Structure formats: structure tokens, C-alpha cells
């Protein structure tokens, strides 16, 4: 059993903690959500869906030289600065790896992945 298949199995048994809606007909169930404070005053948010973004269409198909991975789930990592502004990246072409310091998973080599969500902002409640 691979770490990816173990995570897929765990996600299938996890409760839905939210939804991600896009221009697609159906949304994506978020099965894991983690918010981490960064030392610089920023915030790192990790969302994991139980199925791959674009699993049933080409709307999320990666462009460029990087090949898509075969994960059955998607990990979305948002990074916001201390002002609540930032960006987000997705595991469509990257790997998900254990972040032992934060005791969670995250996107491996975050800096090398393409930005998917631009102008992300924290909304005041």
C-alpha cells in the first residue's frame, strides 16, 4: 500500500468539512482542512478533496511541460501573508508529502508549482 492510497482511503471515511465550488456542475467535498500560523505572521491553509479536481472534465487539466499525477484526491495549499493576501497552489502536477514539523501533509516543493489561485484574500467576518 502506498502513502497516496492510504490517504485516499482515509479521505473516503472522513466527514465532509466544507465544499469547493467552481464553474463545474458539481462541487468538491473537502475532507480535510488545516490552518497553520506561520512564523512571519502569515497563514498556511491546506484543503484536501476526496476526488481529483477535474476528475470528470478537462477544466482543471494542467498545461505546460509538467505531467499530471495520478492522485485520486487534490490538495490545495493557500499561503497568505500577515495582511491576509496571497496565492494558492494545487497538487495537480506536484506531490503531496508529509510535513512532520506541522504534523500534517502539504505540497512538496511548493515554490516550484504553478500558481492556480491568484489574489487570494482573507475575508473579514
Regions of the chain with pLDDT less than 50: none
Q: 46-70 pLDDT, tens per residue?
A: 999 999 998 877 778 777 777 788 8
The set of cell numbers assigned to 19 is: 465544499
Q: For residue 89, which of 61, 62, 110, 66 has the smallest C-alpha distance?
A: 110
Which pLDDT score, from 0 to 100, does residue 30 have? 95
16/68 Cα distance (integer angstroms): 25
pTM of the model: 0.89
From 52, 47, 49, select the one nearest 33 (Cα to Cα). 47
Q: Computed from CA positions of residues 14, 17, 22, 24, in that sequence, does the dihedral angle turn out positive or negative?
A: positive
Angle at 59 between CA 54 and CA 63, to 5 degrees: 100
Given this model, what pLDDT does residue 43 score?
Answer: 96
Domain boundaries, the chain: 3-119
The three-state secondary structure class of 71 is coil
pLDDT for the residue 98:
87
Amino acid at each position: 500500500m502506498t502513502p497516496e492510497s492510504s490517504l485516499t482511503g482515509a479521505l473516503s471515511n472522513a466527514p465532509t468539512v466544507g465544499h469547493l465550488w467552481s464553474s463545474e456542475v458539481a462541487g468538491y467535498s473537502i475532507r480535510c482542512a488545516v490552518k497553520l500560523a506561520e512564523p512571519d505572521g502569515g497563514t498556511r491553509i491546506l484543503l484536501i478533496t476526496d476526488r481529483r479536481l477535474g476528475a470528470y472534465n478537462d477544466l482543471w487539466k494542467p498545461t505546460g511541460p509538467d505531467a499530471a499525477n495520478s492522485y485520486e484526491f487534490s490538495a490545495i495549499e493557500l499561503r497568505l501573508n500577515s495582511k491576509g493576501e496571497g496565492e494558492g497552489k494545487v497538487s495537480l502536477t506536484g506531490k503531496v508529502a508529509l510535513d512532520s514539523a506541522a504534523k500534517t501533509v502539504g505540497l512538496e516543493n511548493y515554490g516550484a508549482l504553478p500558481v492556480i489561485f491568484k489574489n487570494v484574500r482573507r475575508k473579514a467576518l
